[in-house]
Amino acid sequence: MPKDFGIGAPQKRREDIRFLTGRGVYTDDLKIAGQTYAVFCRSQVAHGRIVSIDTAATLAMPGVLAVFTGEDFKDVGGNPAGWLIKSRNGEAMREPKRPVLAHGKVRHVGDAYAAVIAESYQQAKDAAEQLAADTVIDELPAIVDMAAAVADASNRVHDEIPDNLCFDWGWIEDNRAKVEEVFKTAPHVTTLELVNNRLVPNAMEPRASIGEYFPGTGDYKLTTTSQNPHLTRLLVAAFVLGIPENKLTVVAPDVGGGFGSKIYHYGEEALVLAAAKKLGRPVRWTAERTESFLSDAHGRDHVTKIELACDKQGNFLAFRTETLANVGAYLSNFSTATPTFLHGTLMAGPYKVPAVYVNVKTVFTNTAPVDAYRGAGRPEATFSLERVIDKMCRELNLDPFEVRRKNFITTDMFPYTTPVGLVYDTGNYQATLDKAIEVGDVKGFEARRAESAKRGKLRGLGLSTWIEACGIAPSHLVGVLGSRVGLYDAATVRVNATGNISVMVGAHSHGQGHETVFAQIVADKLGIPESSVEIVHGDTSKIPFGMGSYGSRSLAVCGVAMTKAVDKIVAKGKKIAAHMLEASEADISFENGKFSVAGTDKAKTLGEIAFSAYVPHNYPLETLEPGLEETAFYDPNNFTYPAGAYLCEVEVDPETGKVQVCSFTCADDFGNIMNPMVVEGQVHGGVGQGIGQALCENTHYDENGQLVTGSYMDYAMPRASDVPFYTVDYSCQTPCTHNPLGVKGCGEAGAIGSPPAVVNAVIDALHRGGIKVSHIDMPVSPARVWSAIQNA
C-alpha cells in the first residue's frame, strides 16, 4: 500500500493546477508599466567579419529608442566557462571571450551582433530589419565539420586559436599506456565508430528576459527563464556587467522546461539590463521559436570511436575511446565539463572493467554553442558503452544479458573505485537486470516476435544497463577537477508565527514538481499537513544562495539541505519546549508535530512553539534567540549513483525502414522514493526524450553552417504516437549511503539509459531478420534504416 501522506505518497502535483488551467505566470506574461521591446539582429551567415553597422537610419525610425552593437560592450566582461579543463600536455584550455553581442566577427547563424529597443514589438522588428540591411558582413568560409576544423589551421572560429581546439583531454592520462598494453594482448577487440547526434533542447517556453533599473536606488532586476537564478546573478553581475551582486535581483518565475538549456547565462540577459539602465525603462525580450533553434545551447554532438578489449567469454579487459566533442562557436557555461567530467568519469559503466582510457578533443565550430542537455555527458558515455558491448556480443555470439551480468560490479564490492576516478557507494545491478527481465516479460519475447513476423514486421529486443553520477556535486571534488563554482545547495525553513511554513530553496522547479515533493518531505518530518507548507523558489531576494536545478540534484542536494534545516528547527523547538514545559531538553522528544516530555502527557504543538518563538513572553531569551527560522547549506560528500536496466522492444517495417517502439521497460534503482508518481513522470519524460534522440531528432547544419533543421517542419520531435506505454519499476532500492534521505536522483535517468536500448533493439530486429547491420547512427530514421538494409 502506498502511503497517502508525506514521504513516499504518490501526491498529485499541486503546481499542475495552475499550469493546466493557464494560470502559470511565465516571464512573457508579466506586463510592466513603461516597458519597451528588444529585438536582436542575428547573423544569417555562419562565419563573417563585421565590416560596418550603420545605425543612423534605424535610429530615425518611429518608436526606436536605442541601438546596441558589440562596440557598446567591448569593455565589459565576457560570459565565462564554469570549468577550466587542462589538456593532456598540461596546458589550460583555450577560452575565447564570449561577448554580450558579437564584436568583430559573427561566429554562427543566429549569433546576435546588434539589438534594437523600441516602443512596440512591431517597431523593434521593423527597425531590426533596417539595421540588418545597413550592416555589412564579409562572409568567411564556415567551419562545420569537427575533423576538418582541427585539420585546417588556416580557417579559425577564433582568430587566436589556430587549430580550433579548445583542449585535448586524457582521462586518466596516467592510464593511457597501461590501457594500450591491454589492447595489444587482448584475445578480442571490438571497435565501433558512432555519432551521438546533436539535439536542440526545445523547451516549450522559449527563453525570455525582462530587465529593469530603478534609478532611485540604483537597483537592477532581471526576470528571466533560468534554472538557477543565483548562478545567473553571479555571472551577469560579477563577470559580465560589473554590477554589485547586492544591487541585482534575479527572478525566475514559472519556467516552462529547460532540460539544461536554461542553466546558462546568455547575452540577451545582459543586454536587457544594460538597456534598461540606459533608457531608465523596462526592456523585454522573448525569443521566437526560430531564435530558440538558432541560439539556445544545443546538446550532445560527439563523434566517437570506442574500443572494447575482452576475452573470448566476454569478460571486459578495457575500454578506450577517442571523441571529438563540439562546443560550437563559444564556450557556454558548462560546455567544458559536459564532455569531460560528466562523460569520461562514467566510461566504466556498472562494470568491473580494470582499465579505461578516454580521450576527448573539444572543437570550436561555426555552430550554436553546445552544452549540457538532460543527461549531459552521461548519455554519450552510456550510448558508447552499451552499443559497443552489444556489438561485441554479436561478434562473439554471446548472450547480451549474461555478458552484462558477468561483468557487473557485485554487491560485495561496494564502495567501489572505478578506473575513471569515481567511488560508487552502493548499488545492485544484478537486481535491476533481473527485475527488468521479469517485468519486461523477456520469456514472452519469442512469441511476440513470431506474432510480429506474421504481420511482416521484424521484432527486436534491446538492452541497456546504465549508471550515472548525479546529485551534482561534491565541491571539494569538482574543485580539483576544474570547476570554478561550488555545487552545494541551500534552504531556509521559516516556521511563521501562526504555525504554517515557508521553505525557501535554492533549487528551481521548471516542471519537476518540487513544490509538491519538497512540501511532502517537510510536512512528513514536522508532522503537519502538507497544505501548510509553501515552497518558495526562483527569486534571489527571497531564497538563500543555492545553485539551482540540473544534474538530477534538486532532491539529493537541495532536498537534503532542506531536511537539515528542518532538523535545526526541531532542535531549537526542543529548547523552547523544554523551557515552556519546565523539563530538561534531553527529555523532550518530537513526534507527529508535538514536542513532549518523555513519560508524561505534557506536550506542545509545533504551532504553540512557533507562537512562543515570535511572541516570546515566556521564553528563554537569555540563552535563545527568538524566532523560528533556520538555514542549512549542504555540500554532498560524493555523487549519487542511480543505475538500472532498460529493455526496449521494437518492430521494424523492412519495406519502409520505419521503427515502432512497442514496449519500453525500466527497472531503476533511485534509492529511496519520495513521491512515486513524480518519479514515474520523470522517467517517462526522460525516456521520451531518449526515444526522440534515438529515432527522431536530428540537428543538421549544412556545409555553409546553415541550420537545415531550424523549425519543426524538419526537426522531428517525438510525439505521443512514437512512444509506447512505459513499464516503470523502481522497487530495487539501494539507498544512497551518504545523504540522510537515501535518495539518488531520477531526472536524467530516462534520457541516459534509453537511446542505446532503442538502437540495440533495432539492430537486434534486423539481425533476427537475417539483415547483418552492425550499426546505424541516431536518429535511426526510416530512411537510414532502409538504406542500411539496402547496403547490408
Partner 1 sequence: MYAFDFVRPKTVADAVKALQAEDAQALGGGQTLIPTLKQRLAQPSVLVSLTGIDEMKGVCRDGDALVIGGGTLHATVAREARAHYPALAALAGNIGDPAVRNRGTIGGSLANNDPSACYPSAALASGATIVTNSRKIAADDYFQGMFTTALEPGEIITSVRLPIPQKAAYVKFEQPASRFALVGVFVAKHAGGVRVAVTGASNNGVFRWTEAEAALSANFSAAAVKGLKASAADLIADLHGTAAYRAHLIGVLTARAVTAAG
Question: What residues make contact with partner 1 under the rule CB under 8 A?
Answer: 122, 125, 129, 290, 655-658, 695-696, 698, 700, 708-709, 712-717, 719, 779, 781-783, 786-787
If you search the block for the grid coordinates 534575479, which residue do you land on? 250
Q: What is the CA radius of gyration of the chain?
A: 27
Residue number with CB closer to partner 1 (120 or 313): 120
DSSP string, 345-357: GGTTTTB--SEEE
Q: Nearest approach, Cβ of 790 to partner 1 (angstroms)?
A: 8
Helix ranges (DSSP H) in 134-285: 146-151, 176-185, 229-233, 267-279
Q: In Å, what is the CA distance from 138 to each residue of 44, 72, 105, 158, 562? A: 11, 21, 9, 15, 54
Residue number with CB closer to partner 1 (595 or 701): 701
Residue number with CB closer to partner 1 (44 or 411): 44
Determine what percent of the chain falls in helix, strand and coil, rounding each to the nearest 5: 35, 25, 45
Residue number with CB closer to partner 1 (180 or 714): 714
Q: Nearest approach, Cβ of 386 to partner 1 (angstroms)?
A: 24
Give the C-alpha separation, 596 to 603, whole Å.
Answer: 4
Q: Which of 106, 138, 104 is nearest to 40 (CA)?
A: 106
CA 106, chain centre distance (Å): 28
Q: Nearest approach, Cβ of 713 to partner 1 (angstroms)?
A: 5
Q: Nearest approach, Cβ of 254 to partner 1 (angstroms)?
A: 23
User: Is 563 within 8 Å of 521 (Cβ atoms)?
Assistant: yes
DSSP three-state, residue 552: coil
Going by C-beta distance under 8 Å and a sequence separation of 6 or more, which residues neighbour residue 572? Answer: 613, 624, 628, 630
User: Is 765 within 8 Å of 459 (Cβ atoms)?
Assistant: yes
Residue number with CB closer to partner 1 (282 or 779): 779
Q: Nearest approach, Cβ of 292 to partner 1 (angstroms)?
A: 14
Strands (DSSP E) contained in 388-544 are: 416-417, 423-424, 458-467, 489-495, 501-505, 533-536
Residue number with CB closer to partner 1 (294 or 696): 696
Q: Nearest approach, Cβ of 712 to partner 1 (angstroms)?
A: 6
Starting at the edge strand that comes first in sequence, how are the strands of the sheet with 533-536 ordered?
533-536, 501-505, 489-495, 629-634
The neighbouring-strand residues paired with 501 are: 495, 533
Residue number with CB closer to partner 1 (590 or 715): 715
Give the C-alpha separation, 223 to 268, whole Å.
Answer: 12
Residue number with CB closer to partner 1 (122 or 313): 122
Q: Nearest approach, Cβ of 285 to partner 1 (angstroms)?
A: 17
Residue number with CB closer to partner 1 (670 or 715): 715
Q: Nearest approach, Cβ of 779 to partner 1 (angstroms)?
A: 8
Q: Nearest approach, Cβ of 22 to partner 1 (angstroms)?
A: 16
Q: Which of 225, 285, 231, 281 is nearest to 255 (CA)?
A: 225
